Structure 1
Amino acid sequence: MPKIVVIAHNIRSTFNVGSIFRTCEGFGVERLILSGYTPYPDLSLCREAPNCALIDGEITRDDQRLPHIREKITQQIHKTALGAESLVPFEYHEAPPLDELRQLGYRIAALEQAANSTNLRDYSAPDRIALLLGEEVDGIAPEWLALADDIIEIPMFGQKESFNVSVAAGIAL
């Protein structure tokens, strides 16, 4: 089974984050990296997932956010994660740690519609893959897309141009 890391960068919706947690748990994802302005749950919830509470590479359970903000975000994520947020090892970084992942042998695959993308059906995933997800409306910013090793796209057959980010994560996984 391949080693999979999911990177959720600049996801606005706590409900999408919760759904991504649940999907990652169901697929046995090694870890979930939340970055940019993506909301993240209370770090103390990580007690069941060893070494999961990482903030920019430092193991911590000392959440510095104001308690009422931390609690509200955690409750919203829990509505769709249903406990997966305490089972999936996660990290928070201001920027996706792509170089660190490459050094660990991961290939960075951005899930995005682009002129040079590969259809998901035709993509052969490597043994170690980091799946980069982007913002709900605008997708992955060009500067991050340029740093990806691969760009993969989910084919669309309806009238809408894209799937919800959490649904797209599930399809790609």
Structure 2
Amino acid sequence: MRKLGMDELNRKSVNAFRESEKTPIVVVLDNIRSMHNVGSVFRTADAFLIQAIYLCGYTPQPPHRDIHKTALGATETVEWVYFGSAAEAVGELKSRGYAVFAVEQAEGSVSLPEFSGRFSGPLAVVFGNEVSGVSEEALALCDGGIEIPQWGMKHSLNISIAAGIVLWELVRVRAATPGGADE
């Protein structure tokens, strides 16, 4: 086995990325503190051709060197929009026909494996603050919650890890569905 060289990875140019058909998923970041977490979510969104990221509240916005440090250029490819609050972003998404789900351990949340095949249309997932989670105002507007199964003592994940798990599962299931990304 050998590692593939950069020229063998068939990476898209910035223009090719922008012109590519996107996965109809929007990521909403609700008052994320860490610029490194924001950059990491940008990088994950780029990897899965996610439609857009909505940065809300005091979530840091590009350009910033600490976001760029983990995004590695993904702030140039992934569309992003700023909103004063996640509740405002959720309202805008719902008015455009998106189903909106909080990634949160909440009453009535559905396990990610159970949820992942339910919605094939436009979908938005809200990730909350590293300490307090999704704001109560945004949570009240969501169509439901998604919970990542966990069996250890902590029962919490870093937001960038949670985003990677959720986005991979949602994209994987869509790609495996007839008419999905694999066709």
Q: Specify the alignment match of 1:156 in structure 2.
A: 150
CA distance in 2, matches of 1:165, 1:3: 21
CA distance in 1, matches of 2:41, 2:119: 19
CA distance in 2, matches of 1:15, 1:75: 10
Verify: 1:75 aligned to 2:75, yes or no: no
1:37-56 pair list within 5 angstroms: 37-42=58-63
Q: Specify the alignment match of 1:142 in structure 2.
A: 136
Q: One-letter code of the match for 2:148?
A: I
Is contact 1:2–1:127 with CA below 8 Å preserved after alignment?
no
Q: Specify the alignment match of 2:19 in structure 1.
A: none
Q: One-letter code of the match for 1:111?
A: V
User: Which of 81, 85, 88 does residue 91 from structure 1 map onto?
Assistant: 81
Highest RCO, 1 vs 2 (Cα 8 Å, sep ≥ 6): 1
Q: One-letter code of the match for 1:27?
A: F
Q: What is the CA RMSD across the aligned residues, in angstroms?
A: 1.2
Shift in Å, 1:104: 1.3
How many residues matched? 142
CA distance in 2, matches of 1:126, 1:98: 18
Q: Specify the alignment match of 1:31 in structure 2.
A: 52
Verify: 1:101 aligned to 2:93, yes or no: yes
User: Which of 33, 39, 42 does residue 18 from structure 1 map onto?
Assistant: 39
Higher helix share: 2
Is contact 2:128–2:134 with CA below 8 Å preserved after alignment?
yes
Query: Given the two structures, how large is their TM-score scaled by the length of structure 2?
Result: 0.75
* Gap runs ≥5 in structure 1: 43-73
Which secondary structure state, in structure 2, belongs to the residue aligned with residue 30 of structure 1? strand
CA distance in 1, matches of 2:129, 2:57: 10
Runs (4 or more) in structure 1 with deviation over 2 Å come to none
Per-residue deviation, residues 6-58 of structure 1 (Å, max 9, x unmatched): 0011000000000000001111111110000000112xxxxxxxxxxxxxxxx
Q: One-letter code of the match for 1:107?
A: A
Per-residue deviation, residues 113-142 of structure 1 (Å, max 9, x unmatched): 012100111002341101111000111122
Q: One-letter code of the match for 1:167?
A: I
Q: One-letter code of the match for 2:25?
A: I
Is contact 1:2–1:126 with CA below 8 Å preserved after alignment?
no
Verify: 1:172 aligned to 2:162, yes or no: no
Q: One-letter code of the match for 1:120?
A: L
Larger radius of gyration: 2
Q: One-letter code of the match for 2:34?
A: S
Query: Given the two structures, how large is their TM-score scaled by the length of structure 1?
Result: 0.79
CA distance in 2, matches of 1:169, 1:41: 19
